[in-house]
Structure 1
């Protein structure tokens, strides 16, 4: 098998590393998905044990907890955890419950406990490493072994600037969960250097897997996002895929196949309306196309020059000029979003300089027809600009009160409509088309986790 000089070259058919749609043989994945997994309370209960108590889940960014004692709460269904930075600078995770009588230690979303955690019920106290250090009227407490009453641990690790938690204290290492290939393919983006520029959490009326499915295919763009057809055409013949044991990546070239030069240029100039991260690149792109424009603004390119190649050049020049390292990325990665699914609930589109993340987890009340979706955007910026653009987390309490950028708003409005249809008793399965192969792979992983749990 040929080797790539840069990890991102897997999208080149000549590399032999990625798959085209025609390379995915019929029967590789089940394309018929039962609908009860979206609506059945009993299925959701089984998911709690099979998936949510055994997988690595993102709880935030490393930059969220910069100082010793900084902590944040993470809740999945009825389980509550707290992640804290210790005095030794290590991030640790604990079950959010006092070992005395189970009182929740942390009731707000974030805080700082530089002197450790204090249970407000009976004033038991814990160090930042979870050790029980004090009890009210300890001399009268009886034979309490402090070493056996430390906070209960959960596994915590970091990758790409994200903090991950696994409720299982015996979980395999995060990098083993991803696998070496996933890690090596994502590392050149330098996502650990990105800054949060949008962070919104909201309850939504659909199952968490409806959210995941919605962002795992481009088949719906013509129906839901027609404005994107100016700049993006999902061509099944040029899309490329990588499937791993639990995760996947997909890429469709960022271009309109068959469109005239004028339409391609106009589409790129309109990019900031949907992709704000392109604002800084557009002026350089305009400079690069200027030599090919006549007095009336009409553009004619010679052989070997396209709007796409000039956008690639502009992106690399602008980011490099800002002192940002994009040397490990290919020209394709300058403009082409790669869609990554990290099981169970993380979807990310990433290209040079920015990424957009969708996460979904079950609603705390356990209703399979509801979930919590978390949308966030991150940008690669020089250190001196990061504090100025860093966004505070927003929790939306009133449904529909927050307006997302156009494409995301369209998805937000669509997903509850699908959930309403899935609740019909007469509909017992969904039928996927081949372009939705990433959804099929995702559900094959769901099936495997559910089956493994059933046989434990």
Structure 2
């Protein structure tokens, strides 16, 4: 695995084993253009200051500058399918009622009574409503945000009902997700994501899926450390040794798109370069299908004269065709197998693959900058009859519970998440104990972390968003 980097420019070094694109090129069913593209950019080799992970003042600045100006995934459209349905989304001290006002009109109201500030709907609540009424003094607003009723209106001659509508954040829809932004002057969601990544997302048709499993857990680590724990496959060989025999970790491809989106592609069905020569093709297939940490439980299949990767792609295709009644013969082997991880800054991960379509969401704990709220959502295709099932209710795990205990969670994948999060506790404590006040990142395998932190720096250099900024109708 050693390589002479003396003649290479910074950022040019790659794992000397076969590349992700070379692996995908050998597949029987060819991958689409969004898979076959590359978009790496060298972004420097300087340390990233650790102050951002340990300072309460820094976290306060993020709520004023970063979270108020960025696009965030607030809910799925299936959470609010009917007019009057609502879903409360909280980010730090901010709270929003996401509601469907009409078939094609979704709004995000600041979740506070305009009389004396009481929340109109409790955090975590959702349901259907014909009005949003304050539990304290009874003021109420229509679903379209207009003021419906004041208690004792004779005492408020100074309140103009026409000017007392609920303030709104901006709303955009993409891929079945509802996105919000508190900054009325922020770029559109399309411009924020950029043309390349936007084209990829639209190809996936995530609007044709629904939330099948939803698990949430809080971690004793800063939200940025938690986001970054999933941005690279560099840790796989040490943290997840049980998957390394069928995961081409060091071969993974890393890409950046504009300021706000990055990704990796991590191929499956190929042994880690760290284990070169230790596993046969049949060993690789066995490890994935019947070995320790497997995510499958079928009888042992055979490679025959082919490769483990091809056998796995064919097996997955058959399983999903049988389960969904769909014809997947034209879906590429790479889409059937590989891990595609896209981060949309600051808090959303999209995994569009067929085998493990997921969404991650990360939010800082508003009461403790050393804690983070982490969510995993598994997406399934909408049934062929077009009747969309209700989204899964969130399963909230306490600190001591394992992901393997969550209803609907595959035990093998739950074990992987437990391994990742065990590291986070040690990393947070280690950073605070360290005499070295910076993180040293790899130029290629950890480029997503550097790209992410550059975006953090950009927003932290801005002025705080002025109180009262909101969409005006």
**TM score, norm. by length of structure 2:** 0.81
1:33-72 to structure 2, matched below 5 A, reads: 33-72=48-87
Q: CA deviation at 1:327?
A: 7.6
Q: Does the 8 A contact of 1:274 with 1:407 survive in 2?
A: no
CA distance in 2, matches of 1:67, 1:272: 45
1:364 to 363, 366, 386: 366
Q: Structure 1 residues 159-168 or 225-234, which shifts more? A: 159-168
CA distance in 2, matches of 1:35, 1:125: 46
User: In the alignment, what sits opposite 2:455?
Assistant: 445
CA distance in 2, matches of 1:70, 1:262: 51
Q: Does the 8 A contact of 2:242 with 2:293 survive in 1?
A: no
Deviations 1:402-423 (A, max 9, x none): 4331101111221111000111
Deviations 1:195-230 (A, max 9, x none): 323212222110001111100011111111111112
Q: Does the 8 A contact of 1:189 with 1:329 survive in 2?
A: no
CA distance in 2, matches of 1:136, 1:406: 54
Q: CA deviation at 1:358?
A: 2.4
Q: Which one has a larger percent helix, Structure 1 or Structure 2?
A: 1
Q: Does the 8 A contact of 1:162 with 1:192 survive in 2?
A: yes
Query: Would you say 1:418 and 2:427 are equivalent positions?
Result: yes
**TM score, norm. by length of structure 1:** 0.84
CA distance in 2, matches of 1:439, 1:113: 40
- Tell me the matched-pair count: 422
2:269 to 237, 241, 255: 255
CA distance in 1, matches of 2:390, 2:122: 28
Deviations 1:45-102 (A, max 9, x none): 2111221011111122211112222111111111111111114452110111111221
User: In the alignment, what sits opposite 2:137?
Assistant: 122
1:267 to 287, 296, 319: 287
Query: Would you say 1:152 and 2:161 are equivalent positions?
Result: no
Structure 1: runs of 5 or more not aligned: 1-5, 290-298
Query: Would you say 1:226 and 2:226 are equivalent positions?
Result: no
User: In the alignment, what sits opposite 1:294?
Assistant: none
CA distance in 2, matches of 1:349, 1:274: 19
When residues 158 and 30 of structure 1 are mapped into structure 2, their CA distance, relative to the original with a 3 A threshold, is farther
Q: CA deviation at 1:314?
A: 3.6
CA distance in 2, matches of 1:228, 1:272: 8
Q: CA deviation at 1:139?
A: 4.1
User: In the alignment, what sits opposite 1:349?
Assistant: 351
Q: Structure 1 residues 329-338 or 348-357, which shifts more? A: 348-357
User: In the alignment, what sits opposite 2:408?
Assistant: none
Structure 2: runs of 5 or more not aligned: 1-29, 405-413, 467-473
RMSD, aligned α-carbons: 3.0
CA distance in 2, matches of 1:154, 1:306: 51
Query: Would you say 1:409 and 2:429 are equivalent positions?
Result: no
